[in-house]
Chains A and B, each alone.
Chain A
C-alpha cells in the first residue's frame, strides 16, 4: 500500500503525467481539510478529538490527535490521527499494517479508500472500496465511497446503484444515508434542478432532525441554493448557522462559492472563497479556487499567491500542479498590450491583449482590429458599454489554455469567457485549417457582452446561442455554417425543447450533442431575430439580471408559451432546412462521389458530382466543401476561369480554407482586382496568420494603392515571422518607411538588408535615394 501511494505521488509530481487523470476530477465538489466521519468510526478517543475539531477547538484537537499517536491505540486509529495531523504517508502505512492484521475488516479498506480520495487517486480509492465490498457487500460506507469515487468520472448508472444500496438497505447507518442525500442534492444542484434540490433538502432536514445528525452540510447547501436561486438575503443566515455549529468549517463558504463558480458568477464566487480561507486557513482547495478565480478576474498577483498557498499545503492536487506550471508560463512568456495606448478620457484602456512573446508581433494587429470591431458591434447591438477593460488571452499551447480555463488539460475547447476576461487558442494551438481563430475571438467577445449585460445571469445555452448567432450575422465570416454531421442529427429530430437545451451543453447524452446544441441555440436566435426582431433577444437578455428563467423570459418577451415557441421553431427549421434535410442522403452521396472521383483522377466526374452536391446545398463551405474539390478539378483540367469562379463563390459564401483562399488571392492579383485580393488576404489571416508570403503580397498591394501604413504593418508582421529571405523582408520595411518620410527608420532596416545582401540591387538603389535625399537636406 505504501509503495502504491508513494508511486502515485511521485507520478503526480511529474507534471506531464497529470493529463492521465485529467478528466476525472472536473466535477469534484470542493473538499475541506478534514472530512466529517458521519459516524463511520466509533473509537471513543478518536471521536473525542473529532468533536474538538468540528467545534472549532483546533489546538485541543491537535493535542488530542497527538495523544492518540503517543498512547496505545490500534494502528487504524493511529492512522486517523496521523491523517488529521496531515501526515498522509504514515497514515497510509498504518492503514496497511491494520489491513494486514485484520484482513476481514472492511472499514479499514474503506478508510484507506477515503485516504486515497483525499490524495486525488480516484481509481485506487475505488479499488479499495470495491475490496471492502467484497469483504462486506452491504457496507454502506464502501458503497458511498465507491459512488463518490465514480462521481469524478461519468458513471451515472453505477453511482446510482451504489447510492440506492445505501438508501435501501435496512442496516445502513444514518451517517451514510446522510452522505448519500448530500451527494444527491449536490448532483441535482449541479444540473440546475433547483426545485428538486429544494425537495431533497427538505427530506434531508427531516432526516437529520430525526437522527440527531450534524446540520452544517445542509446549511452550506442551503446557502448555495439560496444564492443560485437569488434569495440573497438568506445566504448569510445559512452560512452563519453552519459556522455556529462548527466555527472552522470553511465549506460553509466554499460550497456556495463552488456553485457561484459553476454558474459563472465569478466575482461572488471569489468573495465566498475569500471568506472560506479566512474561516479555515488550511482549506487548500478553497485557496486554489480563490486563486483561479482571481486569475479569471485578471487579478494575477492575488491569483498566483493563493495558488502557491494551495500548493504549499496540498502538493497532491494535480489541478494545483497544473496551475503552478501554467503560472510559470504566464510570467515568463506572456506580455500585456493595452489599447488605446495611451488610454483616452478616464485613463483606463478598453482592451488588453495578453499574448505569447513569440506571437505578439504577428497576432496583435489582427486581434486588436477584430476585438475593437466586435466590442463596438456588441456595445451597439446589446446596448451595453463594457464597464471594465476586456482582457483577451491567446495561448499558443492548447493545454496551457485548457488548464488556465478549467484547471486540467485534455479537453477540446477553443475559448472560455469568465466575464471581462476570456482565454482562447492561438492558431498555433490548432495547426489545421479548420480553426478560424477570428471567429472564436468574435464568439468569445459576444459572451463578454451577454454575460456582463445580464450580470452573469444568462443561461449557458442562451449565451452560446447568441455567440453563434453573432458569428453568423456579424462575425468575420458571416453566413450560417452547420457541420454536415449536425445536419444528420437535425434530420433525425435531435433538437431539444428550449427548456431542456442547457442539458445539451451541460449533460450531453451522445458525443456530438454539445455541437448539435450550439447549432440549435444559434438557430433559435436566428429564428427569433427573423420572426420577432433582434430587439427581443436583447429584451430577454436583460430579464436574466433579475434571475428570470429562460422559459419565463421567452413567454414574457415573445408572448407565446414555451410549447408554442418549440412548435414555431420546429416549423422554422422545417421551412428553412426541410428540403435540404429530406435530400441529405443524396447530398452526402454526391459529396462522397466528388471525393472518390477526385481521388481517382476523374476530373470531369468530380466536377459533375460537386455540381450536384452544390445544387442541393449551395451554402456548405466547411473544409470538405464540394467547392474545393470542384476548383481543384478545374485546375487539373486547366480551366482557369471556372476554377476562379468556383473559388470566388466559395469565398463569397464564407468559405475559409486558407489554401483555397490563397489560390483565390493570387488569382485576384493576376486579374488586377486588388480590393478583392486585400479582402481575401485579410480573411486568410484569421485562419493562418503565420504565412510570411501572404503578408508580403498584401503589403505589396497596399504599396501599389498608396496605403503605405497598412503596407508597413503587413511587412512588419512578415518580418516578425522570421522569414528565410530576411533581406527582402527588411528592404520592404525600409521602402515603406521611406515612403512615409521616416528616413532614419528606413536607413536602419535598409542597412540590415544590405548587410545580408550587399549586392541586392533594389536595396542599393534605395540607399542611393536616401543618401541623395540626405545630401539635399544638408545643402
Chain B
C-alpha cells in the first residue's frame, strides 16, 4: 500500500539538509521506503514498524508528498520501477533521493536480490534506478542480510550506500536496520547536537548498537555494516525536536529568525576555517555562539514568563 502523508507546519530551522548545495537553489529531498517480505510474523512486524518509523522521521524534514512508502502487495517490482520513472521526471539536478530497502535479501554468489512480492529487485535494477535519477549523491540504505553484495557494484558511483553487512556472505537476518531507524529519532545519535540526524550519525549510532547487541548476547557478530560514498555527514535524514515557529509570540518568532541567521553564519565560518588562523576562527566562532546562546536564553525567559502568565 502506498501511503502519503499530510503536510505539517515545520520550520526548516537550519540549512543543513543540503549544506553543500548553494543556498540560492531550493533543493528537495525525495524519500522512497520499500518494505520487503518478512516471511515470518516477527519479521513482518519488525519491518512494518521500521518502515513506518522511517516515514514518520522523513516528514520531519521534507514534504509528505515527497515521501513514498511501498509495502505488501504494492511493493512489486513493476510498481517500484514505475515510481522511480516518475520520480526521475519530477526531480532536478539539485534534488536528492533517499531510498530505504527494509527487508530480507539473498545472494547466490553472483547476484544480489531484495525480496519483495513477485519478481525481486536485482542489483541491476538498483543500479538502473540510481542512474536514472537526476543529480548525484543520492542515498541508499539496504538493511537486508547479504546487502554487502551491493558494495562492489556501487563502488565508485557518486552515491552514498549503507549496507547492514560487509559482503554477500553474511546471510543471517540482521539487526542493523532496527538501530539505524531508531537513530533517526534519537538524541544520542545527534552527535553535533543540531537536532538533525545525518547519515553519518545514524550509521555510527547503529553500528555501535549492533556491536553492543552481539556483545550483550555473548555472540560473535554475524553482521558488519558498511558505508561508502562522500558527504554522509552533510546529508540529513531526519530532524529531532523540530522547532515550530512561534505563531503566538512575535518576539520569539523574531529571535528564531535571528538564530537561523546565526546558524548559517556559523556554518559559513566553519567552511572558511582553512583560510583563518586558529585564534581568528575560535574568536569568531565564540562571538557567534555567544549571540546564539544569548538569544536562546532570551527565548527561554520569554517562554518562562508566558508560562507564568
Chain A interface (Cβ < 8 Å from any Cβ of B): 659, 724-727, 751, 754-761, 763-765, 767-768, 771
Contact = CB atoms under 8 A, between A and B. Distances in A.
B158 interface: no
Contact of B194 (A758, A765, A768): A758
B191 interface: yes
Given A727-B193, A764-B296, A758 B289 contact: yes
A754 B290 CA distance: 11
Contact of B216 (A659, A754, A763): A659
B193 A761 contact: yes
A758 B296 contact: no
B208 interface: yes
Contact of A765 (B195, B204, B285, B293): B293
Contacts of B165: none
A725 B270 CA distance: 19
Contact of B294 (A724, A758, A768): A768
Sort A-B residue pairs by CB-CB distance and give the 10 closest, nearest first.
Answer: A760-B193, A757-B193, A764-B293, A757-B192, A758-B266, A759-B194, A768-B293, A725-B191, A754-B289, A724-B204
A726 B289 CA distance: 18
Contacts of A727: 191-193
A624 to B, nearest CB: 11
Nearest to B259: A759
A767 B286 contact: yes
B192 A771 contact: no
Contact of A757 (B194, B286, B294): B194
Nearest to B283: A751
Contacts, number: 62
Interface in B272-298: 282, 285-286, 288-290, 292-294, 296-297
Nearest to B297: A768
B296 A726 contact: no
A756 B290 contact: no
A755 B267 CA distance: 10
Interface in B1-58: 14
A721 to B, nearest CB: 13
A724 B193 contact: no
Given A724-B208, A759-B193, A767-B286, 7 more contacts: A724-B205, A726-B191, A758-B263, A763-B193, A764-B296, A767-B290, A768-B290
A768 B292 CA distance: 10
A395 B292 CA distance: 47
A725 B183 CA distance: 14
> Which interface residue of B204, B215, B293 has the most chain A CB atoms within 10 A?
B293
A772 to B, nearest CB: 10
Nearest to B294: A768
Contacts of A761: 193, 296
Contacts of A754: 285-286, 289
Contact of B192 (A756, A765, A767, A768): A756
B214 to A, nearest CB: 12
Contacts of B266: 758
A726 B191 CA distance: 7
Contacts of A760: 192-193
A451 to B, nearest CB: 38
A119 B266 CA distance: 67
A763 B285 CA distance: 13
A409 B292 CA distance: 58
A43 B232 CA distance: 79
A705 to B, nearest CB: 25
Nearest to A725: B191
Interface in B163-206: 188, 191-195, 204-205
Nearest to A726: B191
> Which of A727, A754, A756, A757 gathers most chain B CB within 10 Å?
A754
8 contacts: A727-B191, A727-B193, A755-B285, A757-B191, A758-B288, A758-B292, A764-B292, A767-B286
Contacts of B286: 751, 754, 767
Contacts of B194: 757-759
Nearest to A755: B285
Contacts of A755: 270, 282, 285
Chain A CB within 10 Å, residue with most, of B14, B288, B290: B290
A764 B294 CA distance: 9
Contacts of B263: 758-759
A755 B288 CA distance: 11
B29 to A, nearest CB: 21
Contacts of B288: 758
Contacts of B290: 767-768, 771
Given A751-B286, A755-B285, A767-B286, A724 B293 contact: no
A632 to B, nearest CB: 10
A756 B192 CA distance: 6
A754 B14 CA distance: 16
Nearest to B218: A659
Contacts of B297: 765, 768
A761 B243 CA distance: 14
Contacts of A758: 192, 194, 263, 266, 285, 288-289, 292
A378 to B, nearest CB: 36
B16 to A, nearest CB: 10
A158 to B, nearest CB: 40
Contact of B289 (A659, A724, A725, A767): A767
Contact of B282 (A724, A751, A768): A751
A725 B193 CA distance: 10
Nearest to A762: B193
Nearest to A756: B192
Nearest to B216: A659
A760 B241 CA distance: 13
Contacts of B208: 724
A764 B289 contact: yes
A733 B303 CA distance: 30
A518 to B, nearest CB: 27
A759 B195 contact: yes
A625 to B, nearest CB: 14
Contacts of A759: 14, 192-195, 263, 292
Nearest to A724: B204
Nearest to A768: B293
A768 B288 CA distance: 12
B301 to A, nearest CB: 12
Nearest to B267: A758
A171 B289 CA distance: 97
Contacts of B296: 761, 764
A670 B195 CA distance: 27
Interface centre among A755, A760, A761, A765 (most CB of B within 10 A): A755
B191 A724 contact: yes
Contacts of A768: 290, 293-294, 297
A756 B132 CA distance: 36
B296 to A, nearest CB: 6
Contacts of A726: 191
A771 B297 CA distance: 14
B179 to A, nearest CB: 13
Contacts of A763: 193
Contacts of B270: 755
Q: By CB atoms of chain A within 10 A, which of B14, B188, B191 has the most?
A: B191
Contacts of A756: 191-192
B12 to A, nearest CB: 14
B273 to A, nearest CB: 9
Interface in B204-249: 204-205, 208, 215-216
Contacts of A724: 191, 204-205, 208
A275 to B, nearest CB: 54
B84 to A, nearest CB: 34
Nearest to B192: A757
A267 to B, nearest CB: 45
Contacts of B216: 659
A767 B193 contact: no
B217 to A, nearest CB: 10
